[in-house]
Amino acid sequence: MMRMIRPLTLWVLLAAALLAWQSAAARGLPDFTVLVEEAAPGVVNISTTRTVQSRDNPFHGFGGQELPEIFRHFFGDRFPSPPGGQAPGRPQERQSLGSGFIISEEGYILTNAHVVDGADEILVRLNDRRELSAELVGSDERTDVALLKVEASDLPTLKLGDSDALRVGEWVAAIGSPFGFDYSVTAGIVSAIDRTLPRDAYVPFIQTDVAINPGNSGGPLFNLDGEVVGINSQIFTRSGGFMGLSFAIPINVAMDVADQLRDEGQVRRGWLGVMIQPVSRDLAESFGMESPSGALIADLDPEGPAARDGLQAGDVILEVDGSRVHDSSTLPRLIGRVAPGSEVALELMRDGERRQLQVTVGDWPDAERATASRPQESRQARLGVSVGELERAEREAIGIEGGVRVRELDPDGAAAAAGVRPGDILVSIDHRAVSSPDQLMELVSELPVDRAVPVRLYRDGRSLFVALRLRAE
């Protein structure tokens, strides 16, 4: 009997030890209950309505709602049209859902710009079930930040933290309305910081593994102290659903944008007036650098701040005011956060030697276009490009009489869809020569929308044509 008792006792002790260890491990995990109870009232659900022209694609107009991308992934454009759907070509009301959060008792709310893009009506629903009409104070597409304003009293506000203090591995939580489910909570850790995405050069994203889905956009990301450290903005996915990679806009970046939108009605960014490219290993060796880093200046705007203050093509910018330029994608963000008119200290590599240079940062050209006439804005929007003048020497080098340089593209614009790239020289459009940015915009205003038009480009010293189809205004 004693022989049987001893093994049994041993197993009981082992089981007890295992349970104790599991209990201790559980106690070591973060508890978000208090955070959610205190923060949830300051998180809002945002719904928007806009009127659009329906298309022949039956995807548009499914109960007045945009279909989730996951459905597009599985069904493509062959998704069946619902019974009673509106006929193609007629105005339709589109609705979208997102999240946001209250940052002040005066009724200011932060969300993503894409949540309220093109909205005719914005409705905010609070945790206490109040529904308030919101006014769009302003939005900034480059950072995907929008500022709303509601008229109400006794509004719960959220505490704002310091996103610069975040560390990789730190626990964070998100509150939002995925797929319209109000005040859903998900949690995870900070996977990386200062992440640059291809289309968002001005945002040092916070990467997390917090589950984010459509409807979470614009909602807050919290640290364990219940402070907002980011705005949940987008995910990386191959399937249309969450795959463990989500990205948030740092709250420090978002608040800088919000303050400018509230005080000035627009966002101003620093501008150097340079075209840059990555530094490969071979280029680094040829420049006398130990490793490939920094941003290589491939070309300069002859009237831009960089050319005025002595920067040259072939310079490799290594630091901006002491902040390292890890690669070419880092430079736009570092310069963009500098107030126009301010002086920055650049460390660069030139002719195999490190040099210091002071440059007074200019105002991003978009700010100038914001004060231009509305017809000009409309024509720019139709094409989806920002262009600049070409110097006579550049034209003579490639043997052309006119042309404009493509500085920047709207990734969703007509030019990008046609295959136009930043740095291209646009020579003609619809068989008509282009000699200046103003002339290009005039030509664009006359282009048809019922057919594709040829666009002649110069790229890497070679001439090529692309077919461009404009969208109806």
> Which residues are tagged catalytic?
114, 144, 217
Cα 77 → chain centroid: 26
Q: Which two tokens stand for residue 30?
A: 């973060």
What span, in angstroms and rounded, lies between the C-alpha atoms of 44 and 268?
28
Instruction: Please give the torsion angle defined by the CA atoms of residues 216, 220, 221 and 225, in that order, rounded to the nearest 10 degrees.
Output: -150
Give which of 309, 313, 308, 311 is closest to 287, Cα–Cα: 313
Q: Which residues pair with 138 in a beta bridge?
A: 147
Q: Which two tokens stand for residue 142?
A: 């480059």
Burial 226-264 (b: 16+ CB within 10 A, else e): bbbbbbbbbbebeebebeebbbbbbbbbbbebbebbeee
Give which of 409, 176, 135, 154 is closest to 261, Cα–Cα: 135
Q: At residue 257, what are phi and psi to the nearest 5 degrees? A: -65, -45
Instruction: Please give the torsion angle defined by the CA atoms of residues 2, 6, 12 and 14, in that order, rounded to the nearest 10 degrees.
Output: 180
Strands (DSSP E) contained in 177-315 are: 184-197, 200-208, 220-222, 228-235, 246-250, 270-271, 274-277, 295-300
Contact, 358 vs 308, CB < 8 A?
no
Q: Measured on CA atoms in the order 410, 412, 415, 419, is the torsion positive or negative?
A: positive
Contact, 112 vs 217, CB < 8 A?
yes
What span, in angstroms and rounded, lies between the C-alpha atoms of 230 and 242?
18
Contact, 101 vs 109, CB < 8 A?
yes
